[in-house]
Structure 1
Amino acid sequence: MTGVRLEPMTEDQYKPWRAEAEAHYAQSVAASGQSAQDAARNAADTYAQLLPDESATPDHHFWYAYDGDRRVGFLWVKVTHDTAFVYNVAVEPDVRRQGYGRAIMPAAERWCHDNALTRIGLHVFAHNTGARALYEQLGFTETGRNMAKDL
């Protein structure tokens, strides 16, 4: 595989994506130590704050990634000054471990370059060792670390 192309999400595509993305985020938060109920509330609050105008929220960009006609994943970034911050990227479950995650990130970098952005950042949950390894292989370096202790 040489790459994927990014196509902006339509409003009809955004709505179901948003619900699924928020639910997945809640699962990741729960896997990091919050109760499922608290994680769901946290996810709802986070998405409401980040996207007050949903897909029309300024500086946020949403794409589906395609390999030919097949949708293989999605990408959400927010642009601030010269930096794109990846809020969410994922590969469709039925095509995972086939190199699409590795292909989506360079597509994001090409978009950043085309839009005169000079940095791309992201957050990855500590428990997501596969994603962490991929990002390190793609040249991302750790810039901070959150820590917690259950009491």
Structure 2
Amino acid sequence: MTTTLRPAGPPTATPDGGADRRWLICSNGRPVGTVRTVARRYGSYLVGRIEGLAVTDAARRRGRGTVAVLAAEEVLRAWGCQRAEVTVPVQAPPAHALALALGYTETNLHLLKRIGQPAQPASGLTIRPIGAEDFPDWLEATKAEFRAQLVRAGLTEEQARQRCATEHTRLLRQGHATQDVALRRLLADGRAVGSFWLALDNGRLPDGSPLAWVMTVDVAPELRGNGYGRELMLAAERECLAAGVRDLGLNVYSGNTVALGLYTSLDYRITHWVLTKTLL
């Protein structure tokens, strides 16, 4: 049996200078599945994504998924991608095992919660917007932390710098006044102790429900362990409800057991694994 990829349509150029193409997975010329390759540009380098891998039930367990992923990686290499990323739902442990077997490393987890009615702020704690005066310092600190996280996830310093600059420019086009974004600080007895960045329009779930996303939540290192992270998350949930959004997601880096423990204690559940691989 020979497994190959056949184009399901022409390639599409993405607004950032990348590419997007869908493929049929074929066995001896007969379609048995589909896969999609996407290249995203961050400054001068490209990151590839392999998405929508699906093999028909009758064709599974014959190595076709493995061959399809390897073929998709070759497409990404030909496009100039230096890394490949895959996102795997937790309902698909075999796909997670396949990615690990092919040399992918788990870097992130996606979590989701259907918000109920969060508690009101504890006594002495208040939330206030991050305005024009505070925004530059907040942004610089946020970028520094994001760059450090990207390096820990395997990017070079330069790749991390370019990806960070691209992402923040795209997501905060109007700075502190960007539409559908909430930037907030937490104050304890008037002293700033933490902050969060909330995207109130992060697409929709499969059932059509609007989805918000916690982009960052940060507590001053010397003040961690005092419950401020929990208060920030509850404040983000209140922001969502005020905007009419009941589903809130977030990303946590694998190995950050403290953050994962906080989120699971607040009833967030893991929905996806994110894995990456360097394309040599």
- Within a 5 Å distance, the mapping from 1:71-150 to structure 2 comes to 71-80=192-201, 82-150=210-278
The one-letter amino acid of 1:5's match is T
2:166 matches 1:45: yes
TM-fit CA distance, 1:111: 2.3
What is the CA distance between 1:94 and its match in structure 2? 2.0
What SS does the corresponding residue of 1:90 show, helix, strand or coil? strand
Shift in Å, 1:5: 2.5
Matched, 1:64 2:189: no
| Alpha-carbon distance, 1:28 to partner | 0.4
Comparing 12-21 with 112-121, greater Cα deviation is found at 112-121
**Which of 133, 139, 151 is the aligned partner of 1:18?**
139
Show structure 2 runs of 5+ residues with no match: 1-120, 204-209
- How far residue 27 of structure 1 moved from its aligned partner, in angstroms, is 0.3
Name the SS of the counterpart of 1:144 in structure 2. Answer: strand
Q: Which runs of 5 or more structure 1 residues have no equivalent in the other structure?
A: none
Question: Aligned pair count?
Answer: 151
Higher fraction of strand = 2
Q: TM-score, normalised by structure 2?
A: 0.51
**Structure with the largest fraction of helix:** 1
Matched to 2:260, the amino acid is: R
* 8 Å CA contact retained: 2:200, 2:240: no
Greater than 3 Å deviation, 4+ residue runs: none
Q: 1:147, CA displacement in angstroms?
A: 0.8
Paired with 1:43 and 1:114, the residues of 2 have a C-alpha distance of 30
The corresponding residue for 1:2 is 122
**Amino-acid identity (%):** 28
**Deviation per residue, 1:103-140 (Å, 9 max, x gap):** 21112212222332211111111132211121111111
TM-score computed with the length of structure 1 as normaliser: 0.91
RMSD, aligned α-carbons = 1.8
Answer yes or no: is 1:30 the counterpart of 2:151.
yes
- Residues 72-112 of structure 1: CA distance to partner in whole angstroms, max 9, x if unpaired? 10011111273321111110122111111012111221222
The answer as to whether partners of 2:200 and 2:243 remain within 8 angstroms in 1 is no
**Distance in 1, Cα, partners of 2:255 & 2:167:** 20
Letter in 1 for 2:190: D
CA contact (8 A) 1:83 1:119 kept: yes
Equivalent residue, structure 1, for 2:50 = none
